[in-house]
Amino acid sequence: MAKSGKSKSVTTSTNNHKSVEPVHNWLERPSLPASNPLLQKVFWGIAGFGLLLLIVLSLGSGINADDKFQVDYSQKLVNYYASFGKDTTALNIPDGNMHLYGGFFETVTGFANKTLGYQPTQIGYHHVRHMSSAILGWVAILCSALLAALIAGQRAGIITLIILLLSPRFVGDSLMNPKDIPFAAGYIMALYNMVAALNRMPNPGKWNLAGIAVGLGIALGTRAGGLLSFGMLGMFAGLHFLAQNGGLKAFSNGHALKKYALVVIGTALAGYVFAMLFWPYALQAPFKNPFTALSKFADLEVKIRVLFQGNNMMSDKTPWHYPLTWIINTIPMASLLGMAGFVVMLQRLVKRYNPLWVGLVLFAAVFPVFYVVYKNSVIHDGWRHLTFAYPPIAICAGLFWNELAEFFTTKKPVQWAVYGVMGLLLADAGIFIATNPSMPYVYFNPLVGGTSGAFGKYETDYWGVSTRQGIEWLEEQGILRPDMPEVVVIATNMYYSTKQLCAKYGDKVKVKYLKWERRYDDAWDYGLYPTRFLDGSTLQKGHWPPNNAVHIVKAGGAPILAILKDSERNCALGIAAGKLGDWPTAIERFKAELAKVPDNEIAWVNLAQAYLNISQLEESKQAAEKALEIMPDDAQSNNLIGLYWLNKNDAGKAKAQFELSIKKEASNPGAWYYLALISRSQGDNQTALSNLMKCIQISPSFKPAYELSAQIYEAMGDGGNAQRFRAAMSQMK
């Protein structure tokens, strides 16, 4: 199984079948059970079914929001190689810094699509990408199962295979994740083949040596973090060399040392060259740029707003346990309890099996997570950046369940009960995949109450793949069709995927990018909005989906995407009237909107603004409070209540309100500005200037902050600084 699928391969891979007798037997353990032809067929039958399943599921997946960057990179890579390096646009891509990523996946799929004649506006283009991702996900699953079989026998391999195929997050990512899945595939492919090759030292199999090189190449050819795999190869090959050849005395064995050095250096060099061939930026300076890319990621970490444990926060402000909490809440219970059981049973496992390989899978599973926690790395979108650590976690779980079954070998009823418990712990995960085949990656386990229990506390469809289901619903209703009599305008915060999926309708469909909180800044017919970037409090209070939702896409009982309809466009027209200073018309429009959609927080907050502008203070406050009932953290609503108290000449309550507003949303320039106004009115110019600096840091184009700063400096007799702020303001458009 480990090498070619023949039944003898499992036994020949154990430590009792080495062609050279080791100096001492630190690695020797009892032989694994002889290969069972029936188990062999079961293993490859499940593996074959898994490959078919992943490919079929991938054809129904939506488009990953990150494909905006990935597809652009893919096309630039194709142009680079097709022009033999004359087209250099792939060498520096500021938008997304894609040149700092390896181009293995994007190059292969890019040329495949070019050969087939597909363009990004065609669904076939994305099918090619999704099927390729599914195949690499399957490679990761297969290599994990083969590694488990090498360590503890065929049954351990089958259990690991089942666990991974019933892991919704990993399966879901395999359908459409072009970064994390290829990286995971390369990572575990290198580890499996490393173990297989070292088990056969001093005569490693050629296919295993090739597998190490290709695995290393795919990992590094996906992202610079693949250098970790090279380090693990050197470390565990070194430990194996020492253990097999008498510890430190091993260095006196020149023949063995040469063999190990050739394996490590040869496969590492081949893997490195493989990666460079798919990475134009690195190819410019092969021994510098990969390390430059690795170092730059720390400076280029994207900081976005995330939802964690019911609170919205920036991704660089998440607590240390952010990735751990996500892992615990989103892997199947069989994996979670299996990993815990592995740790508890570690002493028994290292006695029964090769301790070096038991340690390897533990290190491969734990070290990446530990390192991210230790370095306080910026992580967002759950734990997708640590996807590559999950196959080793599944191996650890597989080894535990296998060993627990082995423990009851003489008590068949109990052994079957073990299998039954494992099955029950995988049941909800399997059901979730079956009932949510287009986006199983939004799965949460029973510890958090499933996906419905996680709703409003954690991100669900952070990649917006559900927009495909939304568009398919519009097509089923006949709203989108080739012979549409009029143009349909769709608003969404998932522009790229929606635009590509609607491209087949040409000018008959117009897609507009509008953030959720700015969705009525323009007019539209239908809106496609997942829960991404919504306030957790809004979701938890049941104010989403809003009243004008005509269809809701659900997963695990939780609303994932809302399709909104705006037939009268009252809110958009009200905002437009407000921009013209026509406040009576704006108020009329907002009232008409709220009569039909009473939970439209944008209408409430703009109504509050309109009332404030015509000095109807009490009505303004009431409208702002209505908006806060729906969205408690809304900066503008909180600021409007602060302005209410300012207009009431109650500086104390106004200050408290603006401070509360900042506490809820620190990047709130208006609140800092009004706090500066209050401080200035109280004669505290230094505090006023400090608050204005914070306002300008958040919003460098906030002109009133510059003007107020200039006025304060003039009052303080500092004409130089006053002139500097006015000059900066005059340069703004």
pLDDT in tens, 138-167: 999 999 999 999 999 999 999 999 999 999
Give the tens place of pLDDT for each residue, 32-68: 777 889 999 999 999 999 999 999 999 999 999 999 9
pLDDT of residue 730: 85
The rounded mean pLDDT for the chain is: 92
User: Which stretch of 246-255, 491-500, 528-537 has the lowest confidence by average pLDDT?
Assistant: 246-255
Superfamily assignment of 575-730 in CATH? Tetratricopeptide repeat domain (1.25.40.10)
Contact 379, 315 (CB under 8 A): yes
- 568 burial type by CB count under 10 A (0-12 exposed, 13-18 middle, 19+ buried): middle
Digit-coded pLDDT (tens) for 458-511: 999 999 999 999 999 999 999 999 999 999 999 999 999 999 999 999 999 999
Pairing of β 509-513 and β 549-555: unpaired
Please choose, from the candidates 418, 424, 423, the residue with its C-alpha nearest in 3D space to the C-alpha of residue 400: 418
Tokens coding 348: 């028994």
Beta strands in 472-519 (DSSP E): 488-492, 509-513
Please tell me the predicted confidence (pLDDT) of residue 26.
60
C-beta pairs of 26-31 under 8 Å, 24+ apart in sequence: 26/243, 26/355, 27/240, 27/243, 27/244, 27/354, 27/355, 27/356, 29/351, 29/352, 29/353, 29/354, 30/352
The DSSP symbol for 436 reads -
Given this model, what pLDDT does residue 213 score?
A: 97
Instruction: Tell me what pLDDT residue 579 has.
Output: 94
Mention every residue, 6+ apart, whose C-beta is less than 8 A from residue 439. 61, 62, 172, 461, 465, 466, 555, 560
Which pairing describes strands 488-492 and 509-513: parallel, antiparallel, or unpaired? parallel
Q: What is the pLDDT of residue 729?
A: 87
Please report how the helices 123-152 and 67-82 are oriented relative to each other, as an axis angle in degrees rounded to 10.
Answer: 90
Decide: 159 and 342 in contact? Cβ < 8 Å.
Answer: no
Whether the pLDDT of residue 15 is over 60: the answer is no
Q: How far apart are the first and last CA of the chain?
A: 68
Residue 598 has pLDDT above 70, yes or no: yes
Classify residue 150 as exposed, middle or buried by CB count within 10 Å of its CB (0-12, 13-18, 19+).
buried
* Residues in the chain, total: 733
Residue 5: is its pLDDT beyond 80?
no
632 contacts 535 by C-beta, under 8 angstroms: yes
In this predicted structure, what is the pLDDT of residue 663? 87
Predicted confidence (pLDDT) per residue in 200-237, tens digit: 999 999 999 999 999 999 999 999 999 999 999 999 99
Mean pLDDT along residues 699-719: 92
**Residue 6 confidence (pLDDT):** 37
Question: What was the pLDDT predicted at 376?
Answer: 83
pLDDT at residue 518 is higher than 80: yes
* Element at 562 (helix H, strand E): strand 558-565
CA dist., res. 81 & res. 277, Å (int): 10
pLDDT band at 25 (very low <50, low <70, confident <90, very high): low
Mean pLDDT of 702-721: 92
For position 30, what pLDDT does the model report?
Answer: 64
Domain ranges within the chain, ordered by starting residue: 9-435, 467-565, 575-730
**pLDDT at position 9, please?**
37
pLDDT at residue 19 in the model: 43
Cis peptide before 368 (omega within 30 of 0): no
> What's the rounded Cα separation, in Å, for the pair 133 and 152?
29
Q: What token pair was written down for 249?
A: 């005395």
Cα 315 to chain center, whole Å? 12
Q: Is the pLDDT of residue 4 over 50?
A: no
Residue 1 — very low, low, confident or very high, per pLDDT cuts 50/70/90? low
Whole-number pLDDT of residue 634: 87
